[in-house]
Amino acid sequence: MKAATTALLLAVVVSTAQAGRPCEEKPLTRPQIEQGMALAQRTAQQLDASGAQVLVLARAGQDLSKYGLQWSHLGLAYKTEQAGRPVWRVLHKLNHCGTADAAIYRQGLGEFFLDRPHRYEAAYVVLSPALQQALLPLLRDPQRLLTVHEHRYSMVAYPWATRYQQSNQWVLESIALAAEPGLQGRAQAQAWLQRQGYQPSDLRISTLSRLGARVGMANVAFDDHPNAQRFAGHIETVTVDSMFAWLPRAGLGERAVLIKP
């Protein structure tokens, strides 16, 4: 694997990267560690029981209820082997804390949930057998998935543009790439998603909120959105909730399953 690829795939506990959660550098408390590891254990048990090899896994990093959303961040989870025993790994995109730059990370379930979530719950969608078979080799050796990775990050990246990319958008475009192997790059992946009926979430964000976010947060940009929609306060972006609704509708996955304490 090329050096650039290796640099993007970091199997470490992420303390200076974030997606779908507040950007904090304080050490985790003992209760946070215990709750995160307990959620990881419950998740592993339910994923094993699902019989799947590949699925999409969500966490509630931020409270997005004011937008009508339950989940904030999504990764591609897959079963592999380590030291002769089956384990779950998650491939997902995180932006470097306080910046507009992002990378792809490979983590275990414990690392995935040791992230100060707003709610210690998770949810997953088992993907269709054909899509699982297509994704598994890419997740284990994901050189090709990097062709739909853009390091310039915006939390509200427009789904039908390639200037920026947010975390859930990378998962969505990776699914497109696996489902249709002939696709080349992000623009073709997005065109395929439109043909398959994917509908992003429409977040109603006022002008004042947009200006405050753009000035105060390096990882938020609105200049990739069409002017007419942006000025009207309609900010379309890829959300976990919209993907959970679309996957069964497109025949690419089952209904979402909730994992609670």
User: What single letter denotes the amino acid at residue 91?
Assistant: L
pLDDT computed for residue 206 by the predictor: 61
**CA contacts within 13 A on the Cβ side of 135:** 29
pLDDT tens string 42-94: 999 999 999 999 999 999 988 899 889 999 999 999 999 988 899 999 999 99
Question: Mean pLDDT across the stretch 11-34?
Answer: 60
**Sign of the Cα pseudo-torsion (126, 47, 104, 130, in order):** negative
> Where does the pLDDT of residue 24 fall: very low under 50, low under 70, confident under 90, or very high at 90 and above?
low
**CA contacts within 13 A on the Cβ side of 74:** 26
Asked whether the predicted pLDDT for residue 141 surpasses 60, the reply is yes
77: tokens are 């989870």
pLDDT tens string 115-140: 788 899 999 999 999 999 999 999 98
121 phi and psi, to 5 degrees? -140, 160
pLDDT tens string 153-176: 999 999 999 999 999 999 999 999
Q: How many domains does the chain have?
A: 1
pLDDT tens string 187-218: 999 999 999 999 999 998 765 454 444 434 67
Asked whether the predicted pLDDT for residue 97 surpasses 80, the reply is no
Asked whether the predicted pLDDT for residue 230 surpasses 80, the reply is yes
Query: Whole domain around residue 139: which residue ranges?
Result: 3-259
Q: Say whether pTM exceeds 0.85.
A: yes
* Of 158 and 5, more confident: 158
* Of 24 and 208, more confident: 24
Cα separation, 151 vs 50, in Å, equals 33
What mean pLDDT value characterizes the chain? 87
pLDDT computed for residue 10 by the predictor: 35
Could you tell me which residues come within 8 angstroms of residue 106 by beta carbon, excluding any fewer than 6 positions away?
Answer: 9, 10, 11, 89, 90, 91
Cα first-last separation, the chain: 39
* Of 26 and 87, more confident: 87
Reduced 3-state DSSP string for the chain? CCHHHHHHCECCCCCCEECCCCCCCCCCCHHHHHHHHHHHHHHHHHHHHHCCCEEEEEEECCCCHHHCCCCCEEEEEEEEEECCEEEEEEEEEEEECCCCEEEEEEEEHHHHHCCCCCEEEEEEEEECHHHHHHHHHHHHCCCHHHHHCCCECCCCCCCCCCCCCCHHHHHHHHHHHHHCCCCCHHHHHHHHHHHCCCCCEEEECCHHHHHHHHHHCCCCCCCCCCHHHHHCCEEEECCHHHHHHHHHHCCCECCCEEECC
Question: Mean pLDDT across the stretch 25-41?
Answer: 88
